[in-house]
């Protein structure tokens, strides 16, 4: 089972809460610049164990975590 993490770039405000609350933050979360705005993304979901901390603690509800076959 593969975990897919989607970040709504329009909602992301680049605070990095996802990175901070994720038990594996440095392995999974990175940021990039989109039109001059800092946006976080999940770079490697193979480390994710589906706790959903990132999604539930995101201040703008920008993150969706789901499982795919
Ligand atoms: S679901 Fe949990 S382990 Fe996976 S990226 Fe989010 S906080 Fe990290």
| Residue-wise pLDDT tens digits, 1-54 | 899 999 999 999 999 999 999 999 999 999 999 999 999 999 999 999 999 999
Q: Is residue 60 pLDDT above 90, yes or no?
A: yes
Q: How far apart are CA 49 and CA 60, in angstroms?
A: 22
Residues 6+ apart with CB under 8 A from 6: 63, 64, 66
Q: Which atom of ligand 1 is nearest to the CA of 65?
A: 1
Full-model pTM: 0.94
In the prediction, which pLDDT does 6 show?
98
Among protein residues, the one with the nearest Cα to ligand 1's atom 8 is 22
Evaluate whether 29 touches 16 at the Cβ level (below 8 Å). yes
Residue nearest to atom 3 of ligand 1 (CA): 48
Domains located in the chain, CATH noted: 2-68 (3.30.70.20)
Task: Decide whether any atom of ligand 1 lies within 6 Å of the 50 Cβ.
Answer: yes
Q: Does pLDDT of 69 surpass 90?
A: no
- 3 C-alpha to center of ligand 1: Å? 9
């Amino acid at each position: 089972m593969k975990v897919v993490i989607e970040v709504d770039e329009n909602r992301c405000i680049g605070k990095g809460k996802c990175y901070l609350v994720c038990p594996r933050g440095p392995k999974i979360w990175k940021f990039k610049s989109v039109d001059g705005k800092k946006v976080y993304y999940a770079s490697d979901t193979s480390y994710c164990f589906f706790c959903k901390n990132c999604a539930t603690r995101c201040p703008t509800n920008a993150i969706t975590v789901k499982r795919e076959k």
